[in-house]
Amino acid sequence: MTAPLIDPFARAITYLRLSVTDRCDFRCVYCMSENMTFLPKKDLLTLEELDRLCSTFIGLGVRKLRITGGEPLVRRDIMSFFQSMSRHLQSGALDELTLTTNGNQLHRFAAELYAAGVRRINISLDTLDADKFAKITRWGKLQNVLRGIDAALAAGLKVKLNTVALRAFNEDELFDLTAFCAARGMDLTFIEVMPMGDLGEEDRVGQYWALSDLQNQLAGRFTLTELPDRTGGPARYIRLEETGQRIGLITPLTHNFCESCNRVRVTCTGEIYTCLGQEGSADLRGPLRASEGNLVLEQAIRAAIGSKPKGHDFDYSRGDEGGKMSRHMSHTGG
């Protein structure tokens, strides 16, 4: 059972994105409906089970672990999980422990995260306008997120902003966002909006802003240099020569990046999704609880990796949400 995790397309799986909760303290319009029904707490894996699950993946060759949600920092006692996972960093079995957060609770936990071995984090932020922020998150206050960013930087964490590119919403903030990050030494990654879950009356196709257009706008003001950088995820990077900053582009719609996919996602209930853009999943909670040993769990993980598809089918070109997933992004874990 020491063989590495290799999928049917010869891609090594070295990156696990683990959702620790489907709950969130925001209700972002492209991610959730306003009146979400969340899972009963009894259905979630315990923190001890999440530890065992992650440790098994690490034993099978996973080198990067990203904690997601929902919003991971709303999970009760989540810092004890980070503290426990830090042992894999100390042993050298894990290269990186990180998380994606909306930043709302970050001021409370930034120093503890650094102490647990986290060195860089992603913060989701789509606008620097307080009124627009309240509108897109439905419940959020921009000042709390800015406070979290300041706390993270003060704690020594490297911060990257993740911004979903939304037509007619933050197009006019492209250069404000780049300047905000440049002034603080932060990377910035733009993400195309993906067809995940039913948003009620929200028009996701109308929200879609192709990053090819965004890049053209950047090129009209800056000298762009393509970079070979890879951070374990799907982003490709460019440098703005005038500021020296790095901009990431995640383009599942305009450029399918599936050929280099090295990751799987596990939900807070122990479902493994080997592709964000496919419905297929497998249960790991049953095997996890089947015995105190890990052999059954390891076999279930390998079986799931063995059925990993070649890629997603996201497509807006026909004017509808082609390849739409029934589950919300918050369920899968971003």
Q: Hey, what are 156's tokens?
A: 């020594």
Type of residue numbered 48: E
80 is in an annotated binding site: no
24 is in an annotated binding site: yes
70 is in an annotated binding site: yes
The residue to which tokens 């789509």 are assigned: 126
17 is in an annotated binding site: yes
Q: Pick from 93, 96, 25: which is nearest to 55 by CA?
A: 93
In degrees and rounded to multiples of 5, residue 232 shows phi and psi of: 95, -10
54 is in an annotated binding site: no
Asked whether 248 and 189 are in contact (CB, 8 A), the reply is: yes
Asked whether 24 and 69 are in contact (CB, 8 A), the reply is: yes
In degrees and rounded to multiples of 5, residue 101 shows phi and psi of: -140, 155
66 is in an annotated binding site: yes
194 is in an annotated binding site: yes
- Rounded CA-CA distance 307/266 in Å is 15
258 is in an annotated binding site: yes
160 is in an annotated binding site: yes
Q: Hey, what are 36's tokens?
A: 């979400």
**Angle of helix 78-91 versus helix 47-59 axis, rounded to 10:** 20
275 is in an annotated binding site: yes
261 is in an annotated binding site: yes
Q: Hey, what are 281's tokens?
A: 């999943």
Q: Give the full edge-to-edge strand order of the sheet including 271-273.
A: 224-227, 236-240, 245-250, 187-192, 158-165, 120-124, 96-101, 64-68, 15-19, 263-266, 271-273, 282-283
- Rounded CA-CA distance 288/283 in Å is 9
100 is in an annotated binding site: yes
Q: Hey, what are 99's tokens?
A: 């998380």
3-state secondary structure of 24: coil
Query: Which residues are part of a known binding site?
Result: 17, 24, 28, 30-31, 66, 70, 100, 124, 160, 194, 258, 261, 263-265, 275
Query: Which residues are part of a known binding site for [4Fe-4S] cluster?
Result: 24, 28, 31, 258, 261, 275
Query: Which residues are part of a known binding site for S-adenosyl-L-methionine?
Result: 30, 70, 124, 194
Query: Which residues are part of a known binding site for GTP?
Result: 17, 66, 100, 160, 263-265
